[in-house]
Structure 1
C-alpha cells in the first residue's frame, strides 16, 4: 500500500489542523474534513487513515460530485447482475472493498437525499444491500467525508439530512486556506519547483529571484495549494532554463490574450483597478463630448491611475500595488498590458505607504 503524501507547511494554522487529525486517528469514529477547494482535504483524510489502527487495510476514495446519482449508488454499494441495463455481472462496491479500512467520501454535499438515507443506514447499522440485491451485507468501514459546502445551511434548507450530518460529525477538522498560512508559501513553492525541475529534465532547480518570490507571496491564491502548484509548474515551464533563477511568475495563463480573457482593457479591468474608489485620488474623469470610444476611455483612465500610483510610490512597483489594493503580480500584469515602464525614482526619502 502506498504511503500518504506529506502535507507541507509549518504555519500555526496548519499545524493545529494536523494535530487535530492526528488526535482523531486514535478513535474509530466518522470525521468530516472541511475547507476551500485546493486546501488538501484528501491529504488530510489520508493522514487520518494511515495514523489509525486501520493503516494496513484499504483506503478507498470516491468523488461524489464526479459521478451521476445512479452510478454513484452502484459504485458505493455495488450491484447484482441484471440489476439494470448493462449490468452483466456482479459489481463489488467501494464499501465492500473498504471493509476493515477507511472510505473517503469527497464532495459529500453533492450526494442526493435518497443516497444520504442509504448512507445513514450503513453508518448506523453497518448494513446495506447491493443495487438489485436482497441479501443484507455487513461491513466495518470508517467513513471520512470532505466538503467545501455549507452542510448546516444545506440541512436548514432541506438539501442535506440533519441526522446524517450528526452521524458524520463526531468531529470536524478545518484545513486552513493558503492566505491564512502565508509563511508556508515559500516552502511549498520550492517543493513544487524541485519536482517540476525533475519532470523537465533539469539537472537542478536554479531557484526563484527575490522579485519572483515576492510575487508568489503577494498573491491571495483563491485556489489555494492547488493553484500555487499550477502557477509554479507553469512558471518553470515557460521560463525554460535551468542556468538562471526563475524571474517571471505566471499566475494567470490568460493574462496576455485578447478579448474577454485579457489583452485590451475592459470595464472589468477598470473595476479591478478601482475596486475601492475611495483609495484613489483621481476621482472621475471630466465630462466628455458624446459619442465616445468606451474601450479607449477605459484604457486611458486605467493608464492614468497606474501612472499616478507609480508617481506617488516613487516608481516602486510593490508600493504602487499596495496603493491600488493589488497584488504585485497583478500590477506587473497591468503594466505589461498597457506597455508601461517605471522611470528613475524621484528624490524622496520616504514614499507614502
Structure 2
C-alpha cells in the first residue's frame, strides 16, 4: 500500500528531488539509511514515479530468511529440488517481471545469493534452484541497507563487483535528528491518525514542554520510533481534554526501581536520622511549611512517574482527580 512521505526540511526535500530524478532511469538504486528512516517508502516512491508504476512491486527482507530459503524466494525452485519442496515455485524475480523488486537488509544476503544477483543485473538471466533453464528478467532492482557496504566489501563480506553494479547512484536518507523541522509535523500527523483509529473526537495537541521533548530527543529509531511514541501518548492520554504533556520514550522503563537486591526503603548504614530528614527550625508558619512540603512531594512523585499523573497519583495513594486538584491548587505550570 502506498504511503505518504511527510517532511519539509531541506535534507528531506533534497532526497525527494533526487528520487524524482532517478525514478525514470532504468538502473539499480541503492538506498542507505538508519533503521526507521523510511527506506521502503522511498523504494515505493521510486517505483510509482517510474515507467513501471502499473507493474508489480515486490519486497523481500534478506535478513528474515536462511541462505537456502532466500535463494528459493528470489529465484524460485523446481519440483523436488530440495527436501520438502512440492511443485514448481515462482520466485520474486519471476513474479516481479516488468516491475520493481525491493531488497531490504541487503548486507545480510549470503555471498552465493550476491553472485546470482550480480548475474541478473549484468545479463538479465537467472535459474530456478534445481533448474537448468535460463530465465530472463526484466526487473528493476532497488536495494536498501543500514550497513557500510564499502567497508564490508573491503573486508570481503560483500561482493565489491555487486556493489559497483548497484551503486549507479545512492540515496542517503537523513536520520530524524537531522530533520528537526519535520518532527512536529510528523508527530501531529501520527497523532491525528491515532485519534481517528481510536475514534476520538479531536486531537488535543501537545504542551510546549512536550514539543520541546520531541525536538530534543535523539531518535535512535527515527520516524518509526516517533510513530510509536506518539501513538502510545494518544492512547494513554485517553479522553483527557488537556493537551498532552507526558511522553514515554522508553516503554521498557518500570515505574519502580526493579534492580536486583535493592529496596527503596533501605538507607545507607552511615546515614543518620538528621541526614534523612530536613532539619526543622522553629518558630515556623505551619500553613506555608505544609504547602512547601506538598509541592516538594508532588514534584518528586511527578518526576518519579515521568510526569504521568495517573502513575504519580498511585505513588501518593491519591485518586487521579485529587492529584490534578493539588497540581492546579499550587499552580505547578507544565504538569497538566
Q: TM over 0.5: same fold?
A: yes
Gaps of 5+ in 1: 266-291, 301-329, 346-353
Partner of 1:201: 199
1:85 aligns with 2:70: no
- Deviation at residue 259 of structure 1 after TM alignment: 5.6
Asked if the contact 1:255–1:261 (Cα under 8 Å) also holds between the matched residues in 2, the reply is: no
| Count, aligned residues | 283
1:193/1:236 contact within 8 Å kept? yes
Residues 43-74 of structure 1 show CA distances to partners (whole Å, capped at 9, x for unaligned) of: 01111111011111011000001111111111
3-state secondary structure, aligned to 2:73: helix
Asked if 1:6 corresponds to 2:4, the answer is yes
- What is the distance in 2 between the residues matched to 1:66 and 1:118? 18
Provide the C-alpha distance between the structure 1 equivalents of 2:90 and 2:57, rounded to a whole number of angstroms: 15
1:9-48 counterparts in 2 under 5 A?
Answer: 9-48=7-46
Give the CA deviation at 1:256: 2.9
Question: Residue 319 of structure 2 aligns with which residue?
Answer: none
Distance 1:131 1:260, change over 3 A: farther
Give me the whole-angstrom Cα distance separating, in 2, the residues matched to 1:144 and 1:260.
46
Q: CA deviation at 1:87?
A: 0.7
Match of 1:178 in 2: 176
1:123-180 deviation digits (Å, cap 9, x = unpaired): 1111011011111100100000000000011000000000000001100010100000
Alignment gaps of 5+ in structure 2:
276-302, 316-329
Alpha-carbon distance in 2 for matches of 1:240, 1:148: 36
**In 1, are the aligned partners of 2:246 and 2:308 still within 8 Å (CA)?**
no
> CA-to-partner distance for each residue in 1:282-324, whole Å, 9 max, x for gaps?
xxxxxxxxxx959x9xxx9xxxxxxxxxxxxxxxxxxxxxxxx
Q: For residue 147 of structure 1, what is the aligned residue in structure 2?
A: 145
Structure 2 contact 37–173 (Cα < 8 Å) conserved? yes
In structure 2, the residue matched to 1:107 is 105
Residue aligned with 2:132, SS? coil
Tell me how far 1:86 sits from its aligned partner. 1.2
1:225 match: 223
> CA separation in 2, counterparts of 1:261 and 1:137?
59
Partner of residue 134, structure 1: 132
Q: CA deviation at 1:97?
A: 0.6
TM-score by length of 2: 0.77
CA gap 1:152/1:180 in 2 versus in 1, 3 angstroms: same
Distance in 1, matches of 2:202 and 2:213, equals 22
CA pair 191-242 structure 1, distance change in 2 beyond 3 A: farther
TM-fit CA distance, 1:244: 2.6
Structure 2 CA distance for aligned equivalents of residues 63 and 116 of structure 1: 14
Aligned to 1:49: 47
Cα RMSD for the two superposed structures: 3.0
Report the CA distance shift for 1:201/1:30 in structure 2 as closer, same or farther (over 3 A).
Answer: same
Return closer, same or farther for 1:260/1:110 CA change in 2, 3 Å cut-off. Answer: farther
Which residue does 2:246 correspond to in 1?
248
